[in-house]
Amino acid sequence: MNRNVLVCGGAGYIGSHLCEWLAAEDIGVVVFDNLDGGMAAQARWGTLVTGDLRDPRALEALFAAHRFDAVMQLAGRIVVSESVRDPAGYHEHNVVGTRNLLRAGAAHGAPPVVFSSSAAVYGDPQYTPIDEAHPCVPVNPYGATKMIAERMLADFEVAHGMRSVSLRYFNAAGASASGLIGESHRPETHLIPNVLRGHAMAVRLTSSAMTIRRPTVPVCAISSTSQTSAGRISRRSRTCGMAVRRSR
C-alpha cells in the first residue's frame, strides 16, 4: 500500500520543497494550505486542498476524505517582528490552528506528526552551539507559540498515542536542485533572497550582523530530515536522529 502524507503549509517555501522530496520518494502527498503566505503555483506535487487550520470543519472533511500515514505541520506565521505587534494573531494561527489539526488527527487514527518548530523556543543563547538541553525561554510571541505547540504534541501523545517529532531549525535557505521551486515569500523577509535581489535595506550591518554570521540550514536537508523523522516514529523507534526533539 502506498504511503500518503498530509503536508500542512505545503504551498509555502519549506513545504513545497518537502512535497517535491516526498513525491520523488514515491510518497503520496496532500497539501492543505490557505494560500495566505504560500502560492498555489508552488504546490506542484500531490493534491492541493485549500483550507485553513483554524476551520475545524474543513479539517474534519479533509481527514474523512483521506487516510494519512503521517502529518507534516509547517503551516503558521513565522515573522518575529510581526508576532510582537500581533501576538493574538500568532496564537490563533500557530497554537489554535495546530490544536485543531491534532484534534482532527486524533479522531482519525492518530497518525504521527512531524512539527516544524523553531530555534526561537530557546530564546537568547546561554551558550553555543545550542543543544536540546538548552533551556527553552522564548523572548517573543513567535517562539512562545512554537513552544506551546510542542507541549500540545506531548499531551496528545499521552492522551491519544499520537507520536511526534519537533524540528527546531532556523535560517532555512537554498532551493531545489531541480530549479522548479526556490525561496519566495510574500512579502520577502529572509535576508539571503533580499541580498540577491539587491535590496539594500536588507543589509543593515547594525541590526543584521548577528544574522549574517549565523549558519543557514539547507531547505533540502530539512525535507530529508522530515521524511526520516516520520518514518522512524511510524516504526516506533526510540531514536529520531540528529537535530530533532521527540515530544516525550
Among residues 225, 83, 217, the alpha carbon closest in space to that of 167 is found at 225
Cα–Cα distance measured from residue 130 to residue 61, given in angstroms and rounded to the nearest whole number: 40
Cα–Cα distance measured from residue 16 to residue 184, given in angstroms and rounded to the nearest whole number: 11
- Tally of residues, the chain: 248
As given in the structure block, the three cell numbers for residue 59 are 479539517
Helix (H, G, I), strand (E, B) or coil at 243: coil
Cα–Cα distance measured from residue 222 to residue 231, given in angstroms and rounded to the nearest whole number: 14
Q: What are phi and psi of 22, to 5 degrees?
A: -65, -45
Residues designated as active site: 142
